[in-house]
Amino acid sequence: MSKNPNKGRPRHPDILTPAEWRVVHLAQHGLTNQQMADNLQVSINAIKYHINNVVGKLQVIPNSGVTDKKSLLKYLGAPKDSAFHMRKNMNQHLNSPTIVNSIGQVSRTVKDIEKSEAWYRDILGLKHLYTYGKLAFFYIDGTRLFLSEAKDHQNEDKVESIIYFQTNHIKESYQLLIEKGVEFTHAPHKVHTHDDGKEEWMAFFNDLEGRPLGLMGQY
């Protein structure tokens, strides 16, 4: 008689496990299965297993819109214990016309991240914040510059730059923009947790010419 490996294991208090939420956030950022596996340092089969479980759990929730991995891009969700999920001031914000507060970040693709990092830091004198692999971040007068290495960055089919608008309440701003007819390509999702524990969330939509724009907020 085979034993049930889950027998006696307490039910997780959230609809998804922490590992599944990590996979969801990466999938919502548009990463491939291999990129997610590399990011989390697990096998690609583990990623496929988590995606299958996530879709199975979320597709039974009314109005979740989740049917497969691609549909996760527009799924709005967060762990129960996250600051994003626990915000209490949504009604207060809905009475305010402010959706974005400032330009929080501008991204640009470059051919060589090491040479570009040195140029923006040493020639332009921008404050270098940190570099992760092929990504480098700078700061100037309240705005972040995000450089990413792309070998074909001059290809017309590739996005060379994105403007990210800073908002104090990304979930509420997202919902207000939807009410105004904006169609999002990526719902709000966590992209990074800083050393101080603050979470960074982003969402993406297009302008009238189909060029990508971003919303960014911290919790």
**Token pair listed for 85:** 């999920």
Query: Does 158 have pLDDT greater than 90?
Result: no
Q: What is the pLDDT of residues 114-141, one digit of tens each?
A: 999 999 999 989 999 989 888 999 999 8
Homologous superfamily in CATH for domain 85-218: 2,3-Dihydroxybiphenyl 1,2-Dioxygenase, domain 1 (3.10.180.10)
Calpha distance 191→127 (Å, rounded): 22
Does the reported pTM lie above 0.85?
no
Domain with CATH 1.10.10.10 in the chain: 1-72
Architecture per CATH, 1-72: Orthogonal Bundle (1.10)
> Where is average pLDDT lowest: 22-36, 153-167, 203-217?
153-167
Domain with CATH 3.10.180.10 in the chain: 85-218
